[in-house]
Structure 1
């Protein structure tokens, strides 16, 4: 499971990224080298707002561990399984978040007792999710120095001593292929090309990714449509639908609207 040496720079999944970045301080940081096979990156957010703001994210097929503190309330940590719907978080006053985004397939080695589908659609306090292994939230959230926060995240994850798992590595490689290869449109064809049955591929994804391969295919396509809507002045939605493998524009519009909450043309405007 080879991870990147530096965090990705795209804004895929973030709804109205420029607005979010204008209101909060958002950074991505790379984890320690030993953790990179399992993680996408750390993501750090701090805010000091004069009025409330709601952020919206179309979740990746990734589990996150999130340490957060809102205002003067005590900080806490939680395991956030893959979100199936649009995720909305209200931010107000002051706060801080230190998040860990795992690669698809990367979380299972840290919690090998249950399939990753166990966490899908759930947010579980860290004390309950990883009993006996939880980190003190203030050890992560407390330091003023950003490097110290990253070091605390490294120390927490390394203390869990993840064991390499060939099946997790296989799932990660397959999910990564779906992310980057637009020609992958049908689960049956993809499984056949990988020398697997569709059922075996589905079982692998349930155990190590947390959602079905079909869900991953659709989610990455919506991410791309969302990014194009934000970055291009005028989008040819019919052409984009064909480019993303949809049979027609109506199917893209349906999936985009169901995921983001508004049709793509309304979102782009």
Structure 2
């Protein structure tokens, strides 16, 4: 049986996050797992504001949040092109759905590229959902099991339908994620019997970004993850991940995270 991902890929300074909030992942109902990576739940009770930064996956998220006793609000977050930053304060809860890359299309039923780099209020798009997909109760309430059931009901009400083109996109993105040897779009397209043009169109409409972007983002996630046990050999890691040299990896890392590898690595091991 599949288990939720146990890595911290994309989360900057994950140890600090785990010390400040309760973060966990749960699988959705079995029929939804072909499209949904996992549900992610966060609860916090803080005495001072806490900022968390994340290098997004090539995936759409639907996020419900409730701060203190205030009303619940929700948004649809397309694939994030830049680092996402959020400041948490006081008490609150989040219930998020991370779709598999390409997995939001059967729910959205139009090109996912229209959401890329954007965060849209869920209510603003409510006229596009099937009536059964409207939340019938507060999502961020009760136990983890209650919250997961509420999300299951919401997504099932969307009535997603299997689509062979989406299945192809899901399979191709997973191949990139699982194989660090994938470095070039032309070689990847050839290996999978696709033209570069068709591959790019498939990724834009189903995933929301192109295959080159996906390859680079997963390489960067791997580089960030390698800092978990201490600063890696950056030159060796650059060669392993297909960068021309260490300087290219450092530049990519710094551009996306806003922090140089030399500065970031010590920060991930400090206590705070």
TM-score (norm 2): 0.94
Partners in 1 of 2:41 and 2:231 — Cα distance?
32
Give the Å deviation of 1:141.
1.2
Matched, 1:189 2:163: no
The residue number in structure 2 matching 1:80 is 77
Unaligned runs of 5+ in 1: none
* Among candidates 106, 111, 123, match of residue 109 of structure 1: 106
Aligned length: 263
The residue number in structure 2 matching 1:125 is 121
TM-score (norm 1): 0.95
Give the Å deviation of 1:6.
1.7
> Deviation per CA, 1:145-169, whole angstroms, max 9, x where unpaired?
2111100000010011101011111
Aligned ranges for residues 211-250 of structure 1 at < 5 Å? 211-229=209-227, 231-250=228-247
Unaligned runs of 5+ in 2: 267-272
Are the aligned partners of 1:43 and 1:99 in contact in 2 as well (CA < 8 Å)?
Answer: yes
The residue number in structure 2 matching 1:203 is 201
Deviation above 6 Å: which 4+ runs of structure 1?
Answer: none
The alignment yields a C-alpha RMSD, in angstroms, of 1.3
Provide closer, same or farther for how the CA distance between residues 234 and 75 of structure 1 changes in structure 2, counting only shifts above 3 A. same
Are the aligned partners of 1:77 and 1:137 in contact in 2 as well (CA < 8 Å)?
Answer: no
Partners in 2 of 1:37 and 1:151 — Cα distance?
17
Partners in 1 of 2:136 and 2:56 — Cα distance?
23
Are the aligned partners of 1:64 and 1:100 in contact in 2 as well (CA < 8 Å)?
Answer: yes
Are the aligned partners of 2:135 and 2:154 in contact in 1 as well (CA < 8 Å)?
Answer: no
Give the Å deviation of 1:111.
1.0
* Among candidates 136, 154, 157, match of residue 156 of structure 1: 154
Give the Å deviation of 1:5.
2.3
* Among candidates 38, 44, 63, match of residue 35 of structure 2: 38
Give the Å deviation of 1:126.
1.2
